Amino acid sequence: MTVTDPLDLIDIDSLLSDEERQIRETVARFVAEHVRPNVAGWFENGTFPRELAPELGKLGVLGMHLEGYGCAGTSAVAYGLACLELEGGDSGLRSFVSVQGSLAMFSIWKYGSEEQRQEWLPRMAAGEAIGCFGLTEPDFGSDPANMRTRAVRDGDDWVLTGSKMWITNGSIADVATVWAQTEDGIRGFLVPRGTPGFTTQTIKQKLSLRASITGELSLDEVRLPASAMLPGAAGLGAPLSCLSEARFGIVFGSVGAALDSLRTTIDYANTRVQFGKPIAAFQLTQGKLANMAVDLSTSALLALHLGRLKDAGRIRPHQISVGKLNNVRTALAIARECRSILGGSGITLEYSPLRHANNLESVVTYEGTSEIHTLVIGQTLTGHSAYR
């Protein structure tokens, strides 16, 4: 018996429902047809094809786990499996979908007024409007509580001043959810593109997430009406809850990057002949492949378990930290090891593992660094906060 798919090793597919498998297969076909033939060029040129957004809307993955307003209303596990397949294509693609659905759309869906939801969510679900999420600042990444962006009342209006950094979709977004300090604590505001004083700039010369648009947001006395505030969001807990939604997608997505790396490498090892036989027949290669497949299976089971907890309404933030910490660092290790098996071929864009490894260098940092997630887990175990 030969198992050609690493996740077949312990028959993980048998744990999924027919609907979950169908959703996963549908997204996998989309990635195979629309992403894999083009992603090397996008990565090399440092571009993300905005025209892909409506296609993702038709696929139904934008805000797919949200209810109403044109959203699919799927389970958390189904959303996770979609993220797995999307990141198997490229982390930049999954990042676009995560930021659109789990940060920008979720912030409006969870904390917005009915008018804000009606204005933005149907268009965002269809990929007709793109959103971004402005929390991180140049000097405040892991410490958003001390952000410098300010929102000050002026009559019935709000005036925002500050900047946000490392914002996925930032320079192509039609609307930004921007978090700012007010006299009543941290609040969220919807800032449409074209608002006077609101400008964006694309961050260039990246070595990672090149098939993703990363931007800087600048707010120079941006005047917004009172209706721009997200009425249900008060305090830091609101943006952090949005981050938990996006981190959940990473738990599954990172499995997809590792899975694609390992599939690519097994195929290569079976066809690359050295010393008269495929390198897959050598013990050292088999040892590497076996260890990676076991680690990948463990990550996939963890993701699925957390997805079931989320669907049951029982998941806790520290559990998502466990998933992100374990699965991203495991995926990064697998992608690097796969590159070593590919040899010189592994440094080219013909093969995916080094591209995945480069991307995962960002994923291990954004939406909570590995150090912060380690301390979240440490605090849960001991009751002591090490970062306050």
Residues with catalytic roles: 367
H or E segment to which residue 298 belongs: helix 283-311
Letter string b/e over residues 68-93, b meaning 16 or more CB atoms within 10 A of that residue's CB: ebebbebbbbbbbbbbbbbbbbbbbb
Q: Residue 83 in contact with residue 101, Cβ under 8 Å?
A: no
Q: 100: closest CA among 49, 16, 159, 173?
A: 173
3-state secondary structure 97-166: HHHHHHHHHHHHHHHCCHHHHHHHHHHHHCCCCCEEEECCECCECCCHHHCCCEEEEECCEEEEEEEEEE
Q: How far apart are CA 291 and CA 286, in angstroms?
A: 8
What is the three-class DSSP state of 242? Answer: helix
Q: How many CB atoms lie within 10 A of CB 351?
A: 20
Q: How many CB atoms lie within 10 A of CB 205?
A: 6
Q: How far apart are CA 125 and CA 118, in angstroms?
A: 11
DSSP code of 32?
I
